[in-house]
Structure 1
């Protein structure tokens, strides 16, 4: 049919192609690596954690090399109490607490960064399915942080045990070694997901970081007493307490206190925090306006 002169041509309706999940994964991958801070935070953070652990191992190796006297025998005490624990040098508390904050901060940035820049409006306009968007974000962040956790935990363990090879250095086949490395590696995605949940709820840079530090480090410190069982149980339910239990060397004697956390319970704590963090992030993003 020939159009009439001066009449606007009819326009065919434009149908958008729905985004598939792999497209969302690719978009989130580009987002996380488009930030220069991602490289700096992850790179410097990983080097700092490994450096602290390696320094601890080197210092202990030097001390043990010049140590000639054994501790005096005392009735009621096993020699195992006096044995040096090489596994502890790969998982020094300050180093891994720093790693927890780094991982949680990266997870929080992945969420509140889009809200603060306004990019989240564009994202939801292109993909109205908010649940799919947050699922892709959770998947990408978890994969990146798991890879980082494996690298940092594996490097820390390998280098520290190599430095302590003349003083009882361990291999992955020794009791508790593989469990400790796995727990340290999984700590990174766990904390990143907690950071994502906090970032989705707070949506502010400083507020998210402060909340994450309080939740992951300060709360466990407040609930370490053993006078009341409920206080100790709350402390046992925190990721830091679960990590500390999982990296303990079963070949050494440890004072676990009146209400100890078992290895099985520690893994349950890991799973519960991951589930709660993902559920919180999805619920908040779906319910709250941008």
Structure 2
């Protein structure tokens, strides 16, 4: 009787899903929606439009600058600021926050998450697979947009001999910082989606955390400066600035990289662990 009852149970249970199979499944889920590709394409074009438009504006009115302004333009690293504008960064963050949240809130909205957890009871592995796919895809996306923006803007500025190369001081750091801003924001959006599990509320929370909170905090007081420096947008701003901003409470580039790493790791940990003790 023991052998007769245990065999069916073993057959029903089946082999444990391999992590690479879970990653493959999440990859298919991500790209099975047409909206995914459109979000990436439209987001990239919008960022490039903001940055390229700023560079073209400088190109168009270059003749109105005097000799001193033209010399200081490159010396102060302004071409790098044109390659990664604040408006472009804000759009970049909003798009990536939404991209990171959708794989979670989308499944909760449709009820597919119940099927997923029923098929794979190991919820942490499922969420870790989501984190892996989103981190990889958004890192590649961020690298493409960042590099493309730099090449586009410097090509426009080169028409006035005002462009710089990647070896210019601060240029490579700005390119890398802008590229890695994508996975940081995507993972933050995914963590918020895991906690909130509602699309509109998650988008509002992502906007508040990633965009609104940095605007509220200032560098005029030490405690607000510390909080401000701990946010991804301000960390990006510190890294994208050619020589570092002359803040009242200055901080290092190493500190800004640490903020990037801390946000990514904390967001991944929240995503993986938050579903373990919650209902579906």
Same fold (TM over 0.5): yes
* Deviation by residue 1:166-214 (Cα, 9 ceiling, x = unmatched): 3331111111111110000000010000000000000001100000000
Match status 1:230 vs 2:239: no
Structure 1 residue matching 2:267: 3-state secondary structure? helix
**Residues 79/104 of structure 1: CA separation in 2 closer, same or farther (3 Å cut):** closer
Map of 2:49 onto structure 1: 51
* Deviation by residue 1:130-153 (Cα, 9 ceiling, x = unmatched): 111111100001111111101100
Match status 1:191 vs 2:185: yes
Q: 1:114-129 counterparts in 2 under 5 A? A: 114-129=107-122
Asked if 2 retains the 8 angstrom alpha-carbon contact of 1:242 and 1:261, the reply is no
Q: TM-score, normalised by structure 2?
A: 0.91
Q: 1:1-40 counterparts in 2 under 5 A? A: 13=8, 14-15=11-12, 16-40=14-38
Given the alignment, which residue of 197, 203, 219 partners 1:203?
A: 197
- Report the Cα distance in structure 2 between the residues aligned to 1:34 and 1:238, rounded to whole angstroms: 33
Map of 1:141 onto structure 2: 134
Given the alignment, which residue of 265, 270, 276 partners 1:275?
A: 265
Match status 1:169 vs 2:163: yes
- Report the Cα distance in structure 1 between the residues aligned to 2:149 and 2:208, rounded to whole angstroms: 26
Map of 2:83 onto structure 1: 90
Match status 1:244 vs 2:244: no
Q: TM-score, normalised by structure 1?
A: 0.88
Map of 2:61 onto structure 1: 63
- Report the Cα distance in structure 2 between the residues aligned to 1:245 and 1:225, rounded to whole angstroms: 13
Given the alignment, which residue of 93, 96, 101 partners 1:103?
A: 96
Map of 1:74 onto structure 2: none
Q: Which has the larger radius of gyration?
A: 1
| TM-aligned CA deviation for residue 68 of structure 1 | 3.7
| TM-aligned CA deviation for residue 281 of structure 1 | 1.1
| TM-aligned CA deviation for residue 91 of structure 1 | 0.7
- Report the Cα distance in structure 1 between the residues aligned to 2:19 and 2:210, rounded to whole angstroms: 31
> Which consecutive unaligned segments of at least 5 residues does structure 1 have?
1-9, 72-77
Asked if 1 retains the 8 angstrom alpha-carbon contact of 2:238 and 2:245, the reply is no
Asked if 1 retains the 8 angstrom alpha-carbon contact of 2:194 and 2:275, the reply is yes
| TM-aligned CA deviation for residue 83 of structure 1 | 5.0
- Report the Cα distance in structure 2 between the residues aligned to 1:54 and 1:238, rounded to whole angstroms: 26
Structure 1 residue matching 2:169: 3-state secondary structure? coil
**Residues 83/200 of structure 1: CA separation in 2 closer, same or farther (3 Å cut):** closer
| TM-aligned CA deviation for residue 262 of structure 1 | 1.2
Asked if 2 retains the 8 angstrom alpha-carbon contact of 1:64 and 1:167, the reply is no
Asked if 1 retains the 8 angstrom alpha-carbon contact of 2:219 and 2:248, the reply is no
**Residues 80/147 of structure 1: CA separation in 2 closer, same or farther (3 Å cut):** closer
* Deviation by residue 1:86-145 (Cα, 9 ceiling, x = unmatched): 111111101111110100101111111111111111111111111111111000011111
Structure (1 or 2) with the greater helix fraction: 2
- Report the Cα distance in structure 2 between the residues aligned to 1:163 and 1:177, rounded to whole angstroms: 16
> Which consecutive unaligned segments of at least 5 residues does structure 2 have?
none
Map of 1:130 onto structure 2: 123
RMSD value, Cα: 2.1
